[in-house]
Structure 1
Amino acid sequence: MAAQTVSKFKWGILFIAGLQLTACGEAPAPRQAMLPSVIVNTAKTEEIQSKTEIVGRTNASEDVTIKSQIQGQLLKRTFVEGDDVEAGDLLFEIDPATYVAELAQQKAVLKQAFASRDVAVMNWERGRRLLPDGMISAQDMDELTTRKLTTAAGVVQAEAAVQGAELQLSYTKVYAPISGRISNAMVSTGDIITPNSDMANLVQLQPMWVNFQVAERALINAKQNFSKAADREIQISDIVISLRLPNGSMFNETGFIDFVSNRVDAATGTLPIRATFKNGEKMMLPGMFVTLVIESPVKENALLIPQAAVQEDQQGRFVMVLNDQDMVEKRIVELGERFGIDWRVISGLNDGERIVVDGLQKIRPGIQVKAVEQEVVPFQDTKSSPNNNAS
């Protein structure tokens, strides 16, 4: 019993000593919270050459509706529908029988006119010789002169009738007025054709026109930007235009502007413009919707930031900026057009400021973060491929 009492006493002393050592020692320091890590990018001013994308519609440089000019039965069609034809190729033949007979009749009338004129001239010559001797009166001479002049006019009239008949006969054969691609025939062999009947349509595919419209506001902005950035007056010929086909591929020819309307459309507030493209391979057809990529003729400096850094709320677009102490600030920015993966900053940000591009969901204004500089991955044609639309 005594041994057990001593043992308990020893354990009690050890326990009390342990409590005293714990009380006298320093308490463990609390673990410091880790700062959220974000990836930042530095806003930089770079040289850019703006490009604008506008939807346009192709239009044939020549579009001809072939009509008949006479009446008659269609004898044959000489072309393959949808083929390319050359100017002067025979397309249709109309029965010429009626017009051949008319020409023969007018030629006979012309011969009669020549005969009447010749007789009148001979009588006039005879009268002219007899008049001085008093063999005929002056009145008779006047009648002979009138007859000569009348028959001469009859010859001119008959010649015109022959030319008219020949012209009508020529209309029995319909030729291609231009080189181009022919449509389907709108008439069939055996049809009775009347004047002004539509027979076919012919379009010229080389060159090809592309009609588009530019908003008046965008037009004024472009002129102001050009005047500020360029040291000379910008000419239409300085503007280079590329074209994207409906399947997304780029057309292999560049175009140029050859027409600018002299007034803005009051209904749409846009200015009609036309560009011309070579179409040697005849890839483009009239009526296609294409995208025009219009490159600015001048280069300018612009402050660019990645699109990934831009957020938007009720106040507008904003970015998260880090100050010298890596504290987060919310900054409202005004943005312009996009260039590849970058966005042009109009106002609200300065060159050299750091903005958060990744880790935005972990931060809020006023907190401190751990900043890691973004590794820039090269992007092809970043500074010349905007996604903005001028219209």
Structure 2
Amino acid sequence: MNALKLPKFTLPLFFILTFFISCKKEEQKAPPPMQAPFVTVKTEDVPIYKDFAGQTFGELDIELIARVDGILTGIFFKEGQKVKKGQLLYTIDPLEYETKVEQVRGQVAAAQSTLANADEELKRIRPLAEMNAVSKRELDAAVAKDKAARSNYASVQASLKNQQIERSYCNIKSPIDGVIGLSNARLGDYITKLGNSSRLNVVSKLDKVRVQFTVSESDYLKYQKRTKEGERITDLQLILSDGSIHPEKGTLNFSDTKIDPTTGTVTIEAQFPNPDGTLRSGQFGKVRVLIRTEKDAIVIPQKAVTELQGMFQVSVIDNQNVIQTRVVEVGPKTGIDWIITKGLKPDEKVAIIGNQFIQPGSKVVPVPYVPDTKQIASSQNN
């Protein structure tokens, strides 16, 4: 049998059909529009906070300083624990001071005896002088002797009191109810009333704590202006070193009377209640101050804003779901958000593109943006 022969134009037609079919399949495989998370622009009142580094102090921090010399013979507390006013904390060997007390007591007894004799002598001579039985000189001598005896007796009594006070310094007691720190001295140490060895410990009253922080001169002037206008800063928070927020709000105590010329800052003190005693003296943290409240502010996530050479841009999704780039002006940051002062209107859709490669003019599928709750919590503590 003869082989089947096809017309000459059949082969080119075959290749043309194959090409169009291939193109059609490629058109069908075109990728769908990418998803673009978005937020709807809204207005809200936004509190603006500013953080300042600070350090805590007790409501009272009283240093225990030795006022006599001697060997430390007793420690009657547990370091870091609560102590009561009048509680015995340290004892210093009192033998030397007890000896001095007894010596002066002997002097007091002798002075008292001398005074008694002088008084009796004056009582005997005065009636005789009135009868001219003794001379006026003898009376004057008796009066002078009595005065001298009284003065000497008062002097040695004062000396006894002073020695008793010095003896009492051998027992060091807590001046307040508070928490006592680490002891700077141990049993057997020789304590002196001069130098560093005299500083035994610190007792702190911690029902409230003081937090001192510094602010710039410009911030201080703004604060003074608000104060003159009748405003008061009442929203103070204490951010601890672990990022947690102290549950009690603080109040301003005072500001320093001068500005430090070397740093251009002024020291301000705030006070925070400490009912559970978690705060101690010497901790570092941040005082978060409510500076002002932005009324009807437009706020979008910081992720939605791109900065390029000092120019800020956002990606807006228009009514046809197409990405449009828009230049905006920004205000202060607040948490994970950014206040937009110009360039956006309420109810517009702003895309959170992030690392996605979406060019301006691209058609997208808008999906609601879900913020990271961990990131929100972290930003509130920073």
For residue 208 of structure 1, what is the amino acid of its counterpart? V
Question: What corresponds to 1:375 in structure 2?
Answer: 368
Query: Are positions 1:109 and 2:110 aligned together?
Result: no
Instruction: Describe the SS at the equivalent of 2:183.
Output: coil
CA pair 118-347 structure 1, distance change in 2 beyond 3 A: farther
Query: Are positions 1:279 and 2:274 aligned together?
Result: yes
- Give the whole-Å Cα distance in 2 for the aligned partners of 1:181 and 1:208: 12
Contact 2:323 2:359 in 1 (8 A): no
Question: What corresponds to 2:183 in structure 1?
Answer: 185
Deviations 1:33-58 (A, max 9, x none): 99977665454331122333333222
Of residues 273, 293, 300, the one that matches 2:295 is 300
For residue 235 of structure 1, what is the amino acid of its counterpart? R
CA pair 180-160 structure 1, distance change in 2 beyond 3 A: same
**CA deviation after TM superposition for structure 1 residue 157, in Å:** 0.4
- Give the whole-Å Cα distance in 1 for the aligned partners of 2:32 and 2:190: 91
Instruction: Describe the SS at the equivalent of 2:352.
Output: strand
Instruction: Describe the SS at the equivalent of 2:73.
Output: strand
Question: What corresponds to 2:70 in structure 1?
Answer: 72
Unaligned runs of 5+ in 1: 1-6, 15-30
**CA deviation after TM superposition for structure 1 residue 114, in Å:** 2.0
- Give the whole-Å Cα distance in 2 for the aligned partners of 1:40 and 1:202: 57
Deviations 1:111-130 (A, max 9, x none): 22222222323333334323
Question: What corresponds to 1:27 in structure 2?
Answer: none
Question: What corresponds to 1:234 in structure 2?
Answer: 231
CA pair 185-227 structure 1, distance change in 2 beyond 3 A: closer
Contact 1:212 1:274 in 2 (8 A): yes
Alignment of 1:311-350 (within 5 A): 311-320=306-315, 328-339=324-335, 341-347=336-342, 349=344
**CA deviation after TM superposition for structure 1 residue 296, in Å:** 5.1
Q: Percent identity?
A: 26
Deviations 1:161-192 (A, max 9, x none): 11011112112222122333334433333333
- Give the whole-Å Cα distance in 2 for the aligned partners of 1:357 and 1:370: 14
- Give the whole-Å Cα distance in 2 for the aligned partners of 1:12 and 1:103: 139
- TM-score norm. by structure 2 comes to 0.76
**CA deviation after TM superposition for structure 1 residue 379, in Å:** 8.5
- Give the whole-Å Cα distance in 1 for the aligned partners of 2:99 and 2:317: 96
Alignment of 1:128-207 (within 5 A): 128-196=126-194, 197-198=197-198, 200-204=200-204, 205-207=206-208
What RMSD, in angstroms, separates the aligned Cα atoms of the two structures? Answer: 4.0
**CA deviation after TM superposition for structure 1 residue 199, in Å:** 5.5
**CA deviation after TM superposition for structure 1 residue 242, in Å:** 2.7
Contact 1:227 1:233 in 2 (8 A): yes
Question: What corresponds to 2:47 in structure 1?
Answer: 49
Question: What corresponds to 2:19 in structure 1?
Answer: none
**CA deviation after TM superposition for structure 1 residue 317, in Å:** 2.6
- Give the whole-Å Cα distance in 2 for the aligned partners of 1:223 and 1:375: 44
Question: What corresponds to 2:257 in structure 1?
Answer: 262
Structure with bigger gyration radius = 1
For residue 324 of structure 2, what is the amino acid of its counterpart? V
Instruction: Describe the SS at the equivalent of 1:362.
Output: coil
Instruction: Describe the SS at the equivalent of 1:358.
Output: coil
Deviations 1:296-328 (A, max 9, x none): 576733222232221111133333457889783
When structure 1 is superposed on structure 2, of 307-316 and 76-85 the one drifting more is 76-85
Contact 1:49 1:383 in 2 (8 A): no
Question: What corresponds to 2:58 in structure 1?
Answer: 60
When structure 1 is superposed on structure 2, of 48-57 and 371-380 the one drifting more is 371-380
CA pair 125-108 structure 1, distance change in 2 beyond 3 A: same
**CA deviation after TM superposition for structure 1 residue 107, in Å:** 1.6
Instruction: Describe the SS at the equivalent of 2:172.
Output: strand
- TM-score norm. by structure 1 comes to 0.74
- Give the whole-Å Cα distance in 2 for the aligned partners of 1:355 and 1:344: 13
Contact 1:333 1:348 in 2 (8 A): yes
**CA deviation after TM superposition for structure 1 residue 283, in Å:** 2.0
Question: What corresponds to 1:209 in structure 2?
Answer: 210
Contact 2:326 2:343 in 1 (8 A): no
Contact 1:183 1:200 in 2 (8 A): no
CA pair 371-119 structure 1, distance change in 2 beyond 3 A: same
Question: What corresponds to 1:363 in structure 2?
Answer: 359
Alignment of 1:18-97 (within 5 A): 41-97=39-95
Instruction: Describe the SS at the equivalent of 1:167.
Output: helix
CA pair 378-357 structure 1, distance change in 2 beyond 3 A: closer
**CA deviation after TM superposition for structure 1 residue 347, in Å:** 4.3
- Give the whole-Å Cα distance in 2 for the aligned partners of 1:315 and 1:192: 66
Contact 1:337 1:387 in 2 (8 A): no
Instruction: Describe the SS at the equivalent of 2:67.
Output: coil
Contact 1:96 1:172 in 2 (8 A): yes
For residue 273 of structure 1, what is the amino acid of its counterpart? I
